[in-house]
Chain A
Amino acid sequence: MRRRNYLAPDGAIIRPLPSCARDAKLLIELYRSMVLLRLFDRKAVALQRTGRLGTYAVSLGQEAVSVGIASAMRQEDVLLPSYRDNGALLWRGVKPEEILLFWGGDERGNQFSGPVHDFPFCVPVGSQAPHAAGVAYALKLRKQPRVAVCLFGDGATSKGDVYEAMNFAGVHKLPLVFVVTNNQWAISVPLRLQTASETLAQKAIAAGFSGEQVDGCDVVAMRAAAEEAIAAARDGNGPHFIEAVTYRLGDHTTSDDALRYRSAEEVQAHWKEEPIARLRSYLVGQKMWTKADEERLAAECHERIEAAVQRYLTTPPRRPETMFDNLYAELPEAYAAQRRELAGEDDA
């Protein structure tokens, strides 16, 4: 299976660029989003290390996947993300402070500024795939020109949930794009212990639809592949499966120490392929980006992130009794006393 790519690790053009790459504004926007995500990640890790954030899943090295995919979606499309897809949420309008609230252990982070129909981060691996099939079925049933986009990791492809969703999506030709971020590792388990299949993309064959491998460090390739797949799904041509081949440069989460199971040399080697330097080299080579632009961007991101962190840190805590407030549409009378107890109201 050929792996779709356009930009070499040094930013050189490998084959004729797709039409989206002629849009200079878009390329810059993709670049800016990847940089924002990387700096946001770095800040989140620092917050975790100083006890101000819970466990956090880093996107380091994978920025091109979630940014590339989300950039090809329309607002009315439906995103079903995994816990590592911060980049896609940010692109869709979720505020950085909302993402921090979620990882800081506050459910209000899921009451976010992104599209109201988008799903929250999915923590039980792969369990969002059947939701995506349900969403896509609903879109099709109502004849809406909208598409569901479901993101998950390579580990998730071992779960029945993912096979079951793919199978159903194939049967009903659903408007659904599956995107697996193949970052080579599911915590400490390497891909070769996850599957004996040569690619993950070929799993689509068994489900009766098309699949392809894309260089997940090439944001142009990610964007182009997503754009085509989403357009085809919108036109009624059914599902598509994108395997974004990338590499997790960081630890699995802030609770993980990747040096326990993989060598520093292996990680070092993959730094040569990472997506941000790659696009920057291309942009600089095309005279679309300068050192001054870079400095301005860094300052802007810094300011935006610091402001978000301030808003996060100064968000007043929820009152304990609010843990009942979104449990049911209306709190059943049976639980009113429990809510009063949490509110510290005397129940005598």
Chain B
Amino acid sequence: MPEVTLVEAVNLALGRAMADDPDVVLLGEDIGVNGGVFRATIGLQERFGPERVLDTPLAELLISGLCVGMAAQGLKPVGEIQFMGFIYPCLDQLVNHASRMRNRTQGRLTCPMVLRSPHGAGIRAPEHHSESTEAMLAHIPGLRVVMPSSPERAYGLLLAAIRDPDPVVFLEPTRLYRAAKGDVEDNGEALPLDHAFVLREGRDITLISWGAMLKETMAAADTLADDGIAAEVIDLATLKPYDENTVLGSVARTGRCVIVHEAAHTGGFGAEIAAMIAERGLSSLLAPVIRVTGYDTVIPMARLEQRYMPSVGRIVAAARKTCQYN
């Protein structure tokens, strides 16, 4: 199996989906000749033509709204938003239309679209290029929010997202685009949505994360193992709707849980998971659930962004604290 980067896996999945299904259409800024600013769509316009790989005017609301219209006609549009900081004009379309088209029309019209966007900080990008506001999207009923953390899952989950009959926001961890490598066979096999992946088994503590932060979370699990603490690591992968059972099953075995996300603390998706565990898994808890997150500040520009992001050290410290609690 060839080793590819995460962004190459995205490219493979897009190419495969387009080859399999003539209804799949890509649209976005600079996705044609330029292959997208991260090269996720490289070569696809050459292969499938400018009508199926469409360079749009610079208008994010338009991209998301076009997707709604195309999808209602049975196309499978995959829109690209260049950076998550520019996804906000799409919110009107996502909240008011994409996510509730099926519900509003009682199934008469549907919205099988995907909106892709890079997610998160850590690449020394300019202002407004490092957003991690997934919780905002995960709050919207009727939407799916998916975030892969490896090339394998980027490939399989993106195929699943494109085949899914409902709208999916697919957030790609920018920091891993080229840093994460893995063996991906371009066999057209999707991975299940709404399903968490256990990346590492352990009986002492459950570490939950998604996207790029799994890198630090896995490194923290290694450090904890040296202390004799066996951490189970869960990649949530789909944040909306998320796999409560895998989370609860793990916490039932370990009794302890640390949730790690890069997004700001207050109202982050970690709060949702902690609340769910308190509601449905309180009896198995041996310690309070702790969140290790970004601070409640604007994500700083390049010079300080590393200090904003949860570090391996912060995760390890939180896990130790949790394990000492009794």
On A, residues with C-beta under 8 Å from B are 54-55, 83, 102-107, 121, 123-126, 155-156, 158-160, 186-189, 193-195, 255-256, 260-261, 317-318, 320, 323-324, 327, 334-335, 338, 342
Q: Are A160 and B126 in contact (CB under 8 A)?
A: no
Q: Are A125 and B124 in contact (CB under 8 A)?
A: no
Known contacts A123-B127, A323-B308; decide if A317 and B303 are in contact (CB<8 Å): yes
How near does chain A come to B178, taking the closest CB pair, in angstroms? 13
> Is B284 on the interface with A (CB-CB < 8 A)?
no
Report the interface size for chain B: residues with CB under 8 A from the other chain: 36
A and B contact pairs by CB, cutoff 8 A, 25 listed: A54-B125, A54-B302, A55-B126, A83-B126, A105-B126, A105-B301, A106-B303, A107-B301, A123-B126, A123-B127, A158-B62, A159-B58, A159-B61, A160-B89, A187-B34, A193-B55, A195-B57, A255-B37, A261-B34, A320-B304, A320-B307, A323-B300, A323-B307, A327-B298, A338-B297
Q: Are A193 and B57 in contact (CB under 8 A)?
A: yes
CA distance A324 to B86 in the complex (A): 24
> Is B296 on the interface with A (CB-CB < 8 A)?
yes
- Other-chain contact of B126, A54, A158, A195, A320 (Cβ < 8 Å): A54
Q: Within B2-40, which residues are at the interface with A (CB < 8 Å)? A: 29-30, 32-35, 37
CA distance A156 to B60 in the complex (A): 11
With CB as the reference atom, state the residue of chain B lying closest to A317: B303
> Is B128 on the interface with A (CB-CB < 8 A)?
yes
- B contact face: mostly helix, strand, loop, or mixed: loop
Q: Are B307 and A188 in contact (CB under 8 A)?
A: no
Q: Within B67-119, which residues are at the interface with A (CB < 8 Å)? A: 85-86, 89
Q: Are A338 and B307 in contact (CB under 8 A)?
A: no
Q: Are B304 and A338 in contact (CB under 8 A)?
A: no
CA distance A338 to B61 in the complex (A): 35
How near does chain A come to B84, taking the closest CB pair, in angstroms? 11
Cβ–Cβ < 8 Å partners of B295 in chain A: 323-324, 335, 338, 342
Q: Are B59 and A160 in contact (CB under 8 A)?
A: yes
How near does chain A come to B321, taking the closest CB pair, in angstroms? 12
- Other-chain contact of A105, B29, B89, B303 (Cβ < 8 Å): B303
With CB as the reference atom, state the residue of chain A lying closest to B57: A158
Cβ–Cβ < 8 Å partners of A106 in chain B: 301-303
> Is B181 on the interface with A (CB-CB < 8 A)?
no
Among B30, B35, B126, B265, chain A packs the most CB atoms within 10 A around the CB of B126
How near does chain B come to A241, taking the closest CB pair, in angstroms? 18
How near does chain B come to A194, taking the closest CB pair, in angstroms? 5
Known contacts A323-B308, A342-B295; decide if A187 and B37 are in contact (CB<8 Å): yes
CA distance A189 to B61 in the complex (A): 17
- Other-chain contact of A189, B30, B296, B307 (Cβ < 8 Å): B30
Q: Are B30 and A188 in contact (CB under 8 A)?
A: yes
How near does chain A come to B176, taking the closest CB pair, in angstroms? 18
With CB as the reference atom, state the residue of chain A lying closest to B298: A327
CA distance A301 to B30 in the complex (A): 36
How near does chain B come to A348, taking the closest CB pair, in angstroms? 12
With CB as the reference atom, state the residue of chain B lying closest to A261: B33
How near does chain A come to B81, taking the closest CB pair, in angstroms? 12
Q: Within B271-326, which residues are at the interface with A (CB < 8 Å)? A: 295-298, 300-305, 307-308
Cβ–Cβ < 8 Å partners of A320 in chain B: 304, 307
Q: Are B124 and A124 in contact (CB under 8 A)?
A: no
Q: A256-B37, A323-B304 are in contact. List 4 more A-B contacts (CB 8 A).
A: A55-B126, A106-B303, A158-B59, A318-B303
With CB as the reference atom, state the residue of chain B lying closest to A109: B301
Q: Within B238-283, which residues are at the interface with A (CB < 8 Å)? A: 265
How near does chain B come to A162, taking the closest CB pair, in angstroms? 10
CA distance A188 to B45 in the complex (A): 14
- Other-chain contact of B304, A193, A195, A318 (Cβ < 8 Å): A318
Cβ–Cβ < 8 Å partners of B60 in chain A: 159
Cβ–Cβ < 8 Å partners of A55 in chain B: 124-126
Q: Are B302 and A186 in contact (CB under 8 A)?
A: no
CA distance A335 to B61 in the complex (A): 34
Q: Are B308 and A158 in contact (CB under 8 A)?
A: no
A-B pairs, top 4 by smallest CB distance, nearest first, are A105-B302, A158-B57, A188-B34, A155-B58
With CB as the reference atom, state the residue of chain A lying closest to B296: A335
Q: Within B117-135, which residues are at the interface with A (CB < 8 Å)? A: 124-129
CA distance A105 to B124 in the complex (A): 8
How near does chain B come to A215, taking the closest CB pair, in angstroms? 24
How near does chain B come to A188, taking the closest CB pair, in angstroms? 4
How near does chain A come to B51, taking the closest CB pair, in angstroms? 13
How near does chain A come to B34, taking the closest CB pair, in angstroms? 4
Cβ–Cβ < 8 Å partners of A103 in chain B: 126
How near does chain A come to B128, taking the closest CB pair, in angstroms? 5
With CB as the reference atom, state the residue of chain B lying closest to A55: B126
How near does chain A come to B62, taking the closest CB pair, in angstroms? 8
CA distance A281 to B300 in the complex (A): 45
Cβ–Cβ < 8 Å partners of A158 in chain B: 57-59, 62
Q: Are B29 and A187 in contact (CB under 8 A)?
A: yes
Q: Are A189 and B304 in contact (CB under 8 A)?
A: no
With CB as the reference atom, state the residue of chain A lying closest to B39: A260
Cβ–Cβ < 8 Å partners of B57 in chain A: 155, 158, 189, 193-195
Cβ–Cβ < 8 Å partners of A54 in chain B: 124-126, 301-302
CA distance A187 to B55 in the complex (A): 11
Q: Are B58 and A125 in contact (CB under 8 A)?
A: yes
CA distance A195 to B58 in the complex (A): 10
Q: Are A159 and B59 in contact (CB under 8 A)?
A: yes
Q: Are A338 and B296 in contact (CB under 8 A)?
A: yes
Cβ–Cβ < 8 Å partners of B128 in chain A: 123-124
Q: Are A194 and B86 in contact (CB under 8 A)?
A: no
